[in-house]
Copies of this chain bind each other. A is one copy, B any other.
Amino acid sequence: MKKERSQKNTIVRIKDIALKAAVSTGTVDRVIHNRGRVAEDVKNRVLKIIKELNYEPNLMARMLGSKKEYHFAALFPDHSYDAFWTAPKSGIEKAEQDFKQYNVFVEQYVFNPQDVKDYIKKATELTRKKPDGILLSPIYYKETLPFFEKWNADNIPFVLFNTQIADFDPLSYIGQDSYQSGLLAAKLAHYGNPDACSMLIAHIDEKISNAQHLVKKEQGFRNYFAQNNLDHKYKILNVELTRSSQSSFIKSLDTLIENTFDLKQIFVTTSQAYDIAKYLEQRHINHIKLIGYDLIPPNLHYLNNGAISFLINQNPKGQGYWGIYQLAEHLVFKKEVPIIKYLPLDVVTKENLNYFLDEKDQVFIEI
């Protein structure tokens, strides 16, 4: 005497399909996996019944017997050059952990972000290994395209994160809406400065030419004031700074501040807000408010002492996690994945910072 589970009638197995289609389970299996060796009409019949019965394969059973392994490759900058990248790395590892029960393995390829050659080298290495899926942050545009082409030809799905490249459509893009984050920054800047003043948009250490997202952030910031008919009230400047030489960095700021009337707000579009904060501290300037990006340690220091008012969190750990997640969804679970996945724009202050930090046991959640 068998016990039947209560939802027996609602659960459709391969066997049920086989029965209804008057074929063997082997045939149904062949249809499902496109293994060929099935007559066209039989195939269609089975397919139709699968749809009718709304068959959903039992993941447990599928994984159980299967020895299939999934090898993903993750290509992103070495965090020793930029602390930002520790977070994606940890997200990737968390996802690997979560999916290891499904035989998912992730190989990390980290490169020196200041060295195009290294980028190409690591990408080449990765490509040679023929992974089942690729997650990457394609910080070099031109150099990446040939790889996209190759992967497309090899039918290897790839997911982009943090930096978007629209050509050769990827399986998915994970990241932030830079334009929107510019709008958000402007809203905060406006909120904190009810009275007319000057504001500065500072791009530090990244060439605008190579970084479309910086442009978008600036556009967003400026458009907020335009859209709200505030551009007569606030004067918005912008500047590109580099930290290559400490003294020139300081000198540039000195002249900027000297020549700008009533500068009250600086919006740093990169994760280097702490550099400005440090400068302001050294110069004992405390009437200029700062908004920046990314919860990296030096930024947190100045967030906590009040030099930085807000940081916009790019959810870097989430980016890594979701990247692997999407690949798994697509390859392991054969689900459709959204072509674009924007992560929330988190406004972080000293008061809610804790919840965005990477506590071992803290959890991501999204709805």
Contact = CB atoms under 8 A, between A and B. Distances in A.
Which of A5, A355, A358 has the most chain B CB atoms closer than 10 A to its own CB? A355
A246 to B, nearest CB: 31
A160 interface: no
A59 B355 contact: no
Most chain B beta-carbon neighbours within 10 Å: one of A90, A321, A347: A347
Interface string A171-185: 000000000110110
A59 B365 contact: no
25 contacts: A58-B64, A59-B60, A59-B101, A60-B101, A91-B367, A94-B367, A180-B352, A183-B351, A184-B352, A187-B351, A191-B192, A191-B309, A194-B194, A315-B365, A318-B365, A318-B366, A322-B365, A325-B365, A341-B363, A342-B355, A343-B365, A344-B346, A345-B352, A365-B365, A365-B366
A362 interface: yes
A347 B352 contact: yes
Nearest to A347: B347
A361 to B, nearest CB: 6
Contact of A5 (B60, B69, B191, B352): B69
A140 B141 CA distance: 58
Contacts of A33: none
A279 interface: no
A181 to B, nearest CB: 8
Interface string A84-102: 0000001100100000010
A219 to B, nearest CB: 14
A181 B346 CA distance: 15
Contacts of A363: 322, 341, 366-367
A345 B349 CA distance: 10
A70 interface: no
A347 to B, nearest CB: 4
Contacts of A188: 349
Interface residues of A, number: 57
Q: Which 7 A-B pairs have the closest CB atoms?
A: A344-B355, A347-B347, A345-B352, A363-B366, A364-B367, A364-B366, A184-B351
Contact of A367 (B5, B344, B347, B358): B358
Interface of A: 3, 5-6, 58-61, 63-64, 67, 69, 90-91, 94, 101, 103, 180-181, 183-184, 186-188, 191-192, 194, 224, 309, 315, 317-318, 321-322, 325, 338, 341-347, 349-352, 354-356, 358, 361-367
Contacts of A365: 315, 318, 321-322, 325, 343, 364-366
A66 to B, nearest CB: 9
A345 to B, nearest CB: 4
A344 B356 contact: yes
B180 A351 contact: yes
Contact of A350 (B64, B181, B187): B187
A244 B36 CA distance: 70
Contacts of A58: 64, 101
Contacts of A347: 346-347, 349, 352
Nearest to A349: B187
Contacts of A101: 58-60
A356 B343 CA distance: 10
Contacts of A64: 58, 60-61, 64
